[in-house]
Amino acid sequence: MNAPEIHGQSIALRGVTKTWDGLHAVRNINIDVPPGTFTVFLGPSGCGKSTTLRIIAGLEFADQGQVLIGDQDVTAKPPAQRDIAMVFQSYALFPHLSVAENILFGLKVRRTPKEQQRARLAKTAHMLGLTDYLARKPAQLSGGQQQRVALGRAIIAEKSICLMDEPLSNLDAKLRNTMRAEIRELQQSIGFSMAYVTHDQAEAITMADQVVLMRAGQVEQAGPPREIYEQPATAFVAGFIGTPPMNLVPGADLWRHLTGFDSAQTDGLENDAARGALTVGIRPEHIRLTDGAGVRTQVRSVEYLGSDTLVDCRVGDSSVLARVSSSSPLSPGESATLTWRADDMHYFASDTGTRLAETPGRTRLLFE
Amino acid sequence: MLHRRAWVYGWLFLSPALLFLFAFTHYPALNTIISSFFSTPRGRRPAKFIGPENYQEMLQDPVFWKVLSNNFWFAAGTIPISIGLALLMALWVNSHLRGRTLARMAFFAPTVLPLIAVANIWMFFYTPGFGLIDQIRGGLFGLPAINLLGNPDTVLAAMIVVAIWKEAGFFMIFYLAALQSIPPVLREAADVEGAGRFYFFRRVMLPLLMPTTLFVSVNAVINSFRLVDHIFVMTDGGPNNASSLLLFYIYETAFKFWQTGYAATLTVVMLILLSVLAIGQFFLFDRKIHYQ
pLDDT digits (tens, 9 = 90+) for A145-173: 999 999 999 999 889 999 999 999 888 88
Q: In what order do the strands lie in the sheet with A23-33?
A: A23-33, A11-20, A64-69, A72-73
Stretch B150-161: mean pLDDT, rounded?
A: 91
Could you say which DSSP state residue B143 is in?
P
Q: What is the pLDDT of residue A268?
A: 64
Q: Quote the CA–CA distance of A154 and B194 in Å, as a whole number.
A: 13
The answer to whether the Cβ–Cβ distance between B194 and A80 falls below 8 Å is: yes
Q: Say if residue A119's pLDDT is above 70.
A: yes
Q: Quote the CA–CA distance of B24 and B70 in Å, as a whole number.
A: 29
pLDDT digits (tens, 9 = 90+) for B73-94: 999 999 999 999 999 999 998 8
Query: Strand A288-289 and strand A218-223: pairing?
Result: unpaired
Q: Say if residue B137's pLDDT is above 80.
A: yes
CA distances for A286 relative to A215, A231, A256, A345, B226, angstroms: 26, 14, 21, 9, 81
Q: Quote the CA–CA distance of A51 and A47 in Å, as a whole number.
A: 9
Q: What is the pLDDT of residue A237?
A: 94
Q: What is the pLDDT of residue A227?
A: 94
Q: How much helix, strand and coil, in percent to the nearest 5, is found in chain B?
A: 75, 0, 25
Stretch A13-24: mean pLDDT, rounded?
A: 88
Q: Say if residue B289's pLDDT is above 80.
A: no
Do B218 and A118 touch, CB atoms closer than 8 A?
A: no
Q: Which residues of B146-173 are buried (b: 16+ CB within 10 A; e: fewer)?
A: bebbeeeebbbebbbbbbbbbbbbbbbb
Q: Quote the CA–CA distance of A15 and A62 in Å, as a whole number.
A: 9
The answer to whether the Cβ–Cβ distance between B185 and A85 falls below 8 Å is: no
Of A358, A230, A325, A327, whose CA–CA distance to A282 is shortest? A230
Q: Quote the CA–CA distance of A247 and A210 in Å, as a whole number.
A: 24
Model-level pTM? Answer: 0.81
In this prediction, residue B71 has a pLDDT band, given cuts at 50, 70 and 90, of very high
Of A29, A27, A53, A59, whose CA–CA distance to A39 is shortest? A53
Q: Quote the CA–CA distance of A316 and A296 in Å, as a whole number.
A: 10
The answer to whether the Cβ–Cβ distance between B191 and A80 falls below 8 Å is: yes
Query: Strand A64-69 and strand A218-223: pairing?
Result: unpaired
The ipTM estimated for the assembled molecules is 0.83
The nearest CA of chain B is from the CA of A195 a distance in Å of 15
Q: What is the pLDDT of residue B185?
A: 93
Of A94, A317, A102, whose CA–CA distance to B185 is shortest? A94
As a whole-number percent, the residues of chain B with pLDDT over 90 amount to: 48
pLDDT digits (tens, 9 = 90+) for A77-89: 999 999 999 999 9
The answer to whether the Cβ–Cβ distance between B208 and A95 falls below 8 Å is: yes
Of A252-266, B154-168, B208-222, B263-277, the range with the lowest mean pLDDT is A252-266
Stretch (H or E) spanning A12: strand A11-20
Of B189, B195, B204, the CB nearest to A88: B189
Q: Say if residue A41's pLDDT is above 90.
A: yes
How many whole angstroms from its chain centre is CA A197? 8
* A76: contact with B, CB 8 A cutoff: no
For chain A, what is the mean pLDDT?
A: 88
* B236: contact with A, CB 8 A cutoff: no
Of B183, B194, B290, the CB nearest to A109: B194
Q: What is the pLDDT of residue A264?
A: 66
* Test mutation, A50, A96, A149, chain B, max B CBs within 10 A: A96
At residue A351, φ and ψ (nearest 5 deg) are -80, -50
pLDDT digits (tens, 9 = 90+) for A265-315: 666 666 665 556 788 899 999 999 888 888 889 999 999 888 889 999 999
Q: Say if residue A223's pLDDT is above 90.
A: yes
Stretch B149-175: mean pLDDT, rounded?
A: 92
DSSP secondary structure, A236-287, as one string: HHHHHSTTTT-EEEEHHHHHHTEESS-HHHHTTHHHHHHHHTEEEEE-GGG-
Of A12, A113, A2, A98, whose CA–CA distance to A55 is shortest? A12
> For chain A, how far is it from start to end, CA to CA, in angstroms?
45
Do B52 and B37 touch, CB atoms closer than 8 A?
A: yes
The answer to whether the Cβ–Cβ distance between A78 and B189 falls below 8 Å is: no
The answer to whether the Cβ–Cβ distance between B188 and A59 falls below 8 Å is: yes
Q: Say if residue A1's pLDDT is above 50.
A: no
Do A39 and A225 touch, CB atoms closer than 8 A?
A: no
Q: Quote the CA–CA distance of A70 and A161 in Å, as a whole number.
A: 10
Q: Say if residue A350's pLDDT is above 90.
A: no
The answer to whether the Cβ–Cβ distance between A94 and B186 falls below 8 Å is: yes
Of A58, A88, A110, the CB nearest to B185: A88
Q: A322: buried, middle or exposed (CB in 10 Å: 19+, 13-18, 0-12)?
A: buried
* A110: contact with B, CB 8 A cutoff: yes
Of B186, B192, B290, the CB nearest to A80: B192
Stretch A72-80: mean pLDDT, rounded?
A: 91
DSSP secondary structure, A290-318, as one string: -SSSEEEEEEEEEEE-SSEEEEEEEETTE
The answer to whether the Cβ–Cβ distance between B183 and A105 falls below 8 Å is: no
How many whole angstroms from its chain centre is CA B151? 24
Residues of A whose CB is below 8 A from B188: 59, 79, 86, 88, 92
The answer to whether the Cβ–Cβ distance between B190 and A84 falls below 8 Å is: no
The nearest CA of chain B is from the CA of A1 a distance in Å of 28
At residue A19, φ and ψ (nearest 5 deg) are -120, 145
Residues of B whose CB is below 8 A from A96: 204, 207-208, 290
* B63: contact with A, CB 8 A cutoff: no
- Which residue stretches of A137-268 are H helix? 143-155, 173-190, 201-207, 225-230, 235-240, 251-256, 263-266
Q: Say if residue B144's pLDDT is above 60.
A: yes
Stretch B27-53: mean pLDDT, rounded?
A: 87
Stretch (H or E) spanning B15: helix B2-21
Do B236 and B256 touch, CB atoms closer than 8 A?
A: no
Q: What is the pLDDT of residue B178?
A: 94
For chain B, what is the mean pLDDT?
A: 89
Q: In what order do the strands lie in the sheet with A84-87?
A: A84-87, A161-165, A193-198, A38-42, A210-215, A218-223
pLDDT digits (tens, 9 = 90+) for B101-125: 888 888 888 889 888 888 999 999 9
CA distances for B204 relative to A78, A99, B33, B208, B290, angstroms: 20, 14, 45, 6, 11
Q: What is the pLDDT of residue A272?
A: 61
The answer to whether the Cβ–Cβ distance between A110 and B194 falls below 8 Å is: yes
Q: Say if residue A361's pLDDT is above 80.
A: no
Q: Which superfamily does B71-243 belong to?
A: MetI-like (1.10.3720.10)
pLDDT digits (tens, 9 = 90+) for B229-262: 888 888 888 788 898 999 999 999 989 888 888 9
In this prediction, residue A49 has a pLDDT band, given cuts at 50, 70 and 90, of very high
Q: What is the pLDDT of residue A269?
A: 65
Q: What is the pLDDT of residue B1?
A: 59
Do B169 and B257 touch, CB atoms closer than 8 A?
A: no
